[in-house]
Structure 1
């Protein structure tokens, strides 16, 4: 098999730009996985450096370069950008292709995730959140990840796709393997399993169309009135499967972890329960400081960028948490200011591939926090947190977060 996007040997990388850094590996003394990124800056890593780990890739550490990586698709492509490299990998629609090709499926999906479309989901989201929280609110404690943060966005995905709630454990397991494993055999088997699930889903929607996202994608037509290629339909479903689950789960974990240790912040949110605009302003700040995703790009051709030689098929990582704490952009960036007015964070990306589900993600977090504070106004971290329950990778987070009240 020819590996179309195989990275070259790093003989074009000068020794002074090589840093031994594994973004999947979190040292035992680190209790917050984002710190592995901020240690780089504190330890004086070059703003653009290369690591031989995970197949070899570049890392950008400045806001301006990370934004350029998002926006300049002529150099930094989303197609075949996986780290570690794995081929064949699904060409996710629309985020796995570049403009103008990516516009086709983005136009199909965009109307389903506009602010107005998301507001129409509000009642159902409130109902889901209230039901989940009331199930353990009287118990005096929970594992926030297992009991809420994993279930809420995944359950929402199942509903939007017209799938039964009973399949929640299956989807949680599949998503966990997709985001966590670096074993090539396990990753390949995981891709095949996701493909099989999506194949069954869309075939069922062919037989029994419903008012859901899967049916909408299936019934979309190209400019000639024809159905889109079946593989593109499957790959669009693949994107929606992986895009809205793990990131929301782990962002929630960070937000609740912060609030559990910060009584003043809990009070601010309680004071704003009936002021959605102020509530959302504060959530934007928590989205900035708690960016959990590290986004991949692939270099399209040999070139020089900021004095650094890049070769075709080099991989690049854009760590949002680093960009969001760049002092040249954010005054006092390490401080969490729930009244921060100007907040140009890149948590959802920028440019043509900006997260199409950003309005839904923010609404999920806002509604979850509103319902939580109504039922559990005060809470704290439990003392018996599990050791080594943190992980790095494309999405960082916690396997467990025990809360008490």
Structure 2
């Protein structure tokens, strides 16, 4: 499934995989806000793309009219949808990544089961592990004076923290990383690859759940299995498989993209890097600003019926891309939106989404980002991107650097 023809008109023919858009989508968003704030395309299965803060907020809150049952941003062709419907698990559980892939009422009780594990207090249980991990990763390359800050650092932290959270085998983290890329990056344009690794992930977590059913403990997976739905009925183990699927899909690429984007920023903006090294008390506001400016995630919704919004009619079955990154650059909401202001005083960003589907794991993501960046700056305060042309970015569902070569004074 490819759509590689050049874009003639971004308002009627946008392409989220266009190489220029992946490198820097902001100019396109600026253009669309002025002349076509809810754009449309027939590429990649067809979709609508809002670019204004108020529109993204409003559309994200249209539940269940805009259903979250299919949260990826590209649509499989009809023959693949037919194949999916022959899968009894898909037929019963859909995308099977509750609560993000569910509408009420299932959304409510599955989210309720997760939230106690992601409060600000609960995520502190992973602080020391994350701190030790960040230092261990830096130990591996600090003597060299060079590193791939994405591949050797940013991308290594979230998979291991998620494995620690779920108490599963950390030796599988390289598999986790590749599986997620096959869903959220490579698989967006290759549906067969997406389906293959969706099943790989499902099979893996079925094994995890079966083991915990046989040998329950006081960990995360057993706690979910011990939960009940709104009717007081025990949770279906396959629903827990889907909730674990969500932790992997939503908890890895998103956070490593945020960490990597922040390191890219400081590695290419010396004044901001020097300021953070000199004023570490700025980290709370700086992290929120980096989340705003480099918001990684765009979620998909599907119209469950014809939906009218302003002058736009979204036909039943159409995709709407919840363009949180564009909303966070809206000049109607943010002063100097195209600048990173490390001490921005008022920051109403929606990097973690809006409405009932706002990211349940935002506290854990902030913890990982805070520890990853503070630890890097404590040990490598003086660094720069060594080859800007070698930096590569992923686009589509989650935008962030995949290769980020940096250099710094060697510790040896």
For these two proteins, the number of residue pairs brought into alignment is: 383
State how 1:3-42 maps to structure 2 within 5 Å: 19-27=12-20, 33=22, 35-42=24-31
Tell me what 1:8 maps to.
Answer: none
1:227 is aligned to 2:234:
yes
User: Residues 315 and 401 of structure 1: is their aligned pair in 2 closer, same or farther, counting only changes over 3 Å?
Assistant: same
* Alpha-carbon distance, 1:200 to partner: 1.0
Residues 126, 161 of structure 2: 8 Å contact kept: no
**CA deviation string 1:367-388 (max 9, x = no partner):** 111111111111001127537x
* Alpha-carbon distance, 1:118 to partner: 1.6
**CA deviation string 1:123-182 (max 9, x = no partner):** 221111111112211110111121111110001011111112211111111111111122
Runs of 4+ in 1 over 6 A off after TM superposition: none
CA distance in 2, matches of 1:144, 1:209: 38
Residues 178, 190 of structure 1: 8 Å contact kept: yes
Say which of 36, 60, 76 aligns to 1:70: 60
**CA deviation string 1:10-43 (max 9, x = no partner):** xxxxxx996211102314xx7xx26235324337
1:218 is aligned to 2:225:
yes
User: Residues 299 and 54 of structure 1: is their aligned pair in 2 closer, same or farther, counting only changes over 3 Å?
Assistant: same
User: Residues 177 and 223 of structure 1: is their aligned pair in 2 closer, same or farther, counting only changes over 3 Å?
Assistant: closer
CA distance in 2, matches of 1:115, 1:60: 32
| Partner-residue secondary structure (3-state), 2:403 | coil
Say which of 150, 157, 164 aligns to 1:159: 164
* Alpha-carbon distance, 1:227 to partner: 2.2
TM-score w.r.t. structure 2 length?
Answer: 0.88
Residues 71, 299 of structure 2: 8 Å contact kept: no
Q: CA RMSD in A?
A: 2.1
1:104 is aligned to 2:97:
no
* Alpha-carbon distance, 1:231 to partner: 2.3
User: Residues 375 and 97 of structure 1: is their aligned pair in 2 closer, same or farther, counting only changes over 3 Å?
Assistant: same
Residues 71, 352 of structure 1: 8 Å contact kept: yes
Tell me what 2:407 maps to.
Answer: 404
State how 1:143-222 maps to structure 2 within 5 Å: 143-180=148-185, 181=187, 182-222=189-229
Tell me what 1:254 maps to.
Answer: 261
* Alpha-carbon distance, 1:346 to partner: 0.8
CA distance in 2, matches of 1:251, 1:172: 15
State how 1:350-389 maps to structure 2 within 5 Å: 350-383=354-387, 385-386=389-390, 389=392
Structure 2 unaligned blocks of 5 or more: 1-8, 85-93
CA distance in 1, matches of 2:26, 2:207: 40
| Partner-residue secondary structure (3-state), 1:301 | coil
Residues 97, 242 of structure 2: 8 Å contact kept: yes
- Indicate the larger mover: 288-297 or 212-221: 212-221
TM-score w.r.t. structure 1 length?
Answer: 0.89
Tell me what 1:266 maps to.
Answer: 273
